[in-house]
Amino acid sequence: MRLILTYSFSILFFIAQGQITKPEVTEVWEPEPRVVSVDGKSRIPSDAIVLFDGSDLSQWQKRYSDEPAEWQIEDDFMTVVGGTGDIKTKQKFGSCQLHLEWRTPAKVEGESQGRGNSGVFFQELYEVQILDNYNNRTYSNGQAASIYKQHIPLVNACSPPGEWQTYDIIFTAPIFNDDGIKVASGFLTVMHNGVVVQNHSELYGSTEYIGMPKNIKHENGSIILQDHGNPVSYRNVWLREL
Ligand code: MG
C-alpha cells in the first residue's frame, strides 16, 4: 500500500510539474507477471497445490496427532466420519487462495448449528463456517459463510442440502512483530457459489466458540476441516500460496 501511495504521489507530483508529456513515461514493464494456466476440464490453476483430488488423504492427518486422517473416501469425495476428529493439511500455509467444494447431507437432520455443520480453518485459527442454512435459521454470525462469530455473510447463498457448493476464499494472514504484537490484521474474502459473501472482512483474532477473539503470535498453519459430528462431504480442494 505504501508503495502504491508513494507511486501515486510521484505521479501527481510529475503531473503538477507538467513533466509527463508521453504515455510511455507511466508504463511499467518490470516485473512481468508469470504465466498461470487453468486446466480446461478441472479448472485447477497450474500453480495450485492440490490438497484433495478424490484419490487419497495423503495430504491430510488428524488435527491433534500425526496419525492418518480417518474420513471416508467414496468416488471423488471424502466425508466426515463423526468422532474421528478434525483433519488438517500436513503442509502449513500463510496467505493463500483456497477452492473447495462441500455438500451437506441430503437427508435433513437436526436444526440450527446441528444441521450439516463443519468448517474450514485458516492457520488453524480462523474459521469460515460450513453449515446447512437452506431454510435453517441459526445465529447470523454463525451461519454458513460467516467468519465465525465475527462477520455475518452479506447474503445467504446456500444451495439445498445434498447439492455440491463451492467456496473460493482469499485469506490474508495477520502479521505479528518480534514482540508478539499484531501489527496488521488478517482478512478474508469469500465467494460462496460464486456470490461474494465476505468482502475483505477483517479478522479480529481467532474465531472462538466461547469468548473474545485472541491475538497470540503464530507462524504459518494448516488448513483444517472440522468434524462437528455431521457427515459433510468435500471434493476438489486446491490452494494457491499468495
Ligand atoms: Mg463449524
Instruction: Give residue 141 CA to ligand 1 midpoint distance, Å.
Output: 11
Instruction: Give residue 223 CA to ligand 1 midpoint distance, Å.
Output: 14
> Do 42 and 142 reside in the same domain of the chain?
yes
pLDDT at 80: 98
Per DSSP, which regions of the chain are E strands? 49-52, 60-62, 72-74, 77-79, 87-89, 96-103, 118-122, 126-130, 165-172, 175-176, 182-184, 187-192, 195-202, 224-225, 233-241
pLDDT at 20: 82
Across-strand partners of 102?
A: 165, 234
pLDDT at 13: 60
> Do 66 and 138 reside in the same domain of the chain?
yes
> Do 107 and 15 reside in the same domain of the chain?
no
pLDDT at 60: 98
> Do 113 and 153 reside in the same domain of the chain?
yes
**Domain of residue 15, residue span:** 1-32
Instruction: Give residue 129 CA to ligand 1 midpoint distance, Å.
Output: 5
- The set of cell numbers assigned to 173 is 494472514
pLDDT at 11: 57
Cα-based torsion angle of the residue sequence 152, 154, 160, 166 in order, rounded to the nearest 10 degrees? -100
> Do 117 and 4 reside in the same domain of the chain?
no
pLDDT at 19: 74
Q: Which pLDDT tens digits describe the chain residue by residue (242 residues)? A: 455 555 565 556 655 666 788 999 999 999 999 999 999 999 999 999 999 999 999 999 999 999 999 999 999 999 999 999 999 999 999 999 999 999 999 999 999 999 999 999 999 999 999 999 999 999 999 999 999 999 999 999 999 999 999 999 999 999 999 999 999 999 999 999 999 999 999 999 999 999 999 999 999 999 999 999 999 999 999 999 99
Instruction: Give residue 30 CA to ligand 1 midpoint distance, Å.
Output: 44
Instruction: Give residue 113 CA to ligand 1 midpoint distance, Å.
Output: 8
Instruction: Give residue 149 CA to ligand 1 midpoint distance, Å.
Output: 11
**Residues ≥6 apart with Cβ < 8 Å to 142:** 113, 129, 131, 148, 149
pLDDT at 18: 67
> Do 165 and 236 reside in the same domain of the chain?
yes
pLDDT at 9: 57
Query: What CATH number did the domain enclosing 107 receive?
Result: 2.60.120.560
Instruction: Give residue 135 CA to ligand 1 midpoint distance, Å.
Output: 17
State the total domains in the chain.
Answer: 2
> Do 129 and 68 reside in the same domain of the chain?
yes
